[in-house]
Structure 1
Amino acid sequence: MVAKWIEALTGSLEQKKQYRQDMARLKALPEPYRTAAKATHRYLMYSGGVTDGDTMVTMFTDLADLWERAATDGTPVRDVVGDDPVEFAETFAQAYVGDRWIDKERARLTRAIDEAERGDAR
């Protein structure tokens, strides 16, 4: 019962455990994969905008899988990310559908404009 109450306040404990495991996997990568993976992770945290825990955990698990596979195969980092690392990261993030923080702001903007048009501005 206490665990459910804590999860209601903080989010899924299982998701947090999986996230920590994925971060440990990234930290365990050999160079230069570790640096590239951590930089991609950081960018996704700032730009991905995913607010759904399940989607975020899946995305970061897949990211760890991707970099582990590249390290195992000896695939050069640039062969993974291409010429534009930002484009790579944004394309990677687009594959994960879920609630994003910007969705709430888009809905808020649309409501405000609708209210303004009707004359119910607050």
Structure 2
Amino acid sequence: MRIRDIIEGKKEWRALMARVKALPQDYQIVYKEIRKYFFKVGPLELTDGTGLLSGIIDLFEEGAALGKGVLEVTGSDVAAFCDDLIKDSKTYADIYQESVNQEGDKAIKKVTDITK
């Protein structure tokens, strides 16, 4: 990654955070919790730029402009809203699980080969 890419990434991030700060307080709180949740769960789209988070901000801006409360936009179960957004996405947890499974398969194969 070049310095220019890092600088551009920071500019994009700052622009996103400025949009979040312009939202009503309840939207800001829910957005921060969603972001925290995604950073824990680790959908790969978060590393491909800011598309997923930017899309959520777009949705929140539309809801706020229509005078809706944030839970009218997300539903009362915000975690389910998040899970639904990434249900078809690969996560870091998925990649880790695949690597663990592969290592386990290799170990079982070795044991099987030794005992033959």
Q: TM-score scaled by structure 1?
A: 0.73
Is 1:113 aligned to 2:79, yes or no?
no
State the percentage of identical aligned residues.
27
Q: Which residue of 2 aligns with 1:50?
A: 43
Is the 8 Å Cα contact of residues 19 and 60 (structure 1) preserved in structure 2? no
Q: Is the 8 A contact 1:44 1:93 kept in 2?
A: no
Q: How many residues align?
A: 110
Query: Which 4+ runs in 1 deviate beyond 4 A?
Result: none
Query: For 2:50, what is the secondary structure of its paired residue?
Result: helix
2:60 counterpart residue number: 67
Any unmatched runs of 5+ in structure 2? 112-116
RMSD (Å), alpha carbons: 2.4
Q: Secondary structure at the match of 2:43?
A: coil
Distance 2:85 2:53 in 1: 11
Equivalent residue for 1:36, pick from 16, 30, 33: 30
1:80-105 deviation per Cα after TM superposition (whole angstroms, max 9, x unaligned): 1212111112112336x3x5311331
1:44 offset after TM fit, Å? 2.0
Q: Mean alpha-carbon deviation: is it higher for 58-67 or for 102-111?
A: 102-111
Matches of 2:87 and 2:50 in 1, distance apart?
Answer: 15
Q: Secondary structure at the match of 1:119?
A: helix
